Amino acid sequence: MLTSLIGAVALSWIASVVPEHRVQRVILFGCVAAVAYLIFYTLALFIYDKASVELEFLKSRSLSVVAALVVGAAISFFAPTKWNQRLWGGWVCVVPIGALAVLAYYLTPYFTR
């Protein structure tokens, strides 16, 4: 927690000195990329599982990471200007909920053994 506290304070300080629309764009990029990675990697593993031939490259995470970064960059770049004018207050709800989902996922072994 203390490590996160230091990191968060440093990032928040940087965010408060750079223009607001850039902060909004960076957070939008991060969130879209994270969701896109989840979708792409799940999809890649699903196709790998169902395919009748061995598609070894689909198991690599790097492919999904690159695709997610491209999608994140594209959406945050082409997003309507209105979206990026001000920092959206809803991030403070959306991201912690996402973080809780990830933490819950990592705790599943406690419930499955």
Partner 1 sequence: MAFWTTLLIIHGLLAVALLGAITHQAVSVWMPVRSKAGNFVTRFRAVPSTSYVTAIIVLYVVTFVMGAWIYTQYRFTSRLALEQLRFFKTVGVFEMKEHVATIGIILLPAYWAFWRQPLSEDYAAARKNVTLLLAIVVWTNFLIVYRQQCPGIWLMMPSSKLAVFTIVFGVAFAVIYVVCTELNLPLLTYHPVIGEVDFLWTPERRVRPCIGKAGC
The residues that touch partner 1, with contacts defined as CB under 8 A, are: 1-9, 11-13, 15-16, 20, 23, 27, 30, 85-93, 95-100, 102-104, 106-107, 109-111, 113
Minimum CB separation of residue 68 from partner 1 in Å reads 15
How distant is the alpha carbon of residue 74 from its chain centre?
14
Nearest residue (CB) to partner 1, 1 versus 53 = 1
CB of 57 or CB of 96, closer to partner 1: 96
The distance of closest approach from Cβ of residue 71 to partner 1 in the complex, given in angstroms and rounded to an integer, is: 19
Cα→Cα distances 91→42, 55, 60, 84, 95, Å: 24, 37, 30, 13, 6
**What span, in angstroms and rounded, lies between the C-alpha atoms of 17 and 7?**
16
The nearest distance, CB 37 to partner 1, in angstroms, is 13
d(CA 67, CA 33): 9
When the beta carbons of 75 and 87 are compared against partner 1, the nearer one is 87
**Residue in the structure block whose two tokens are 């491209």:** 70
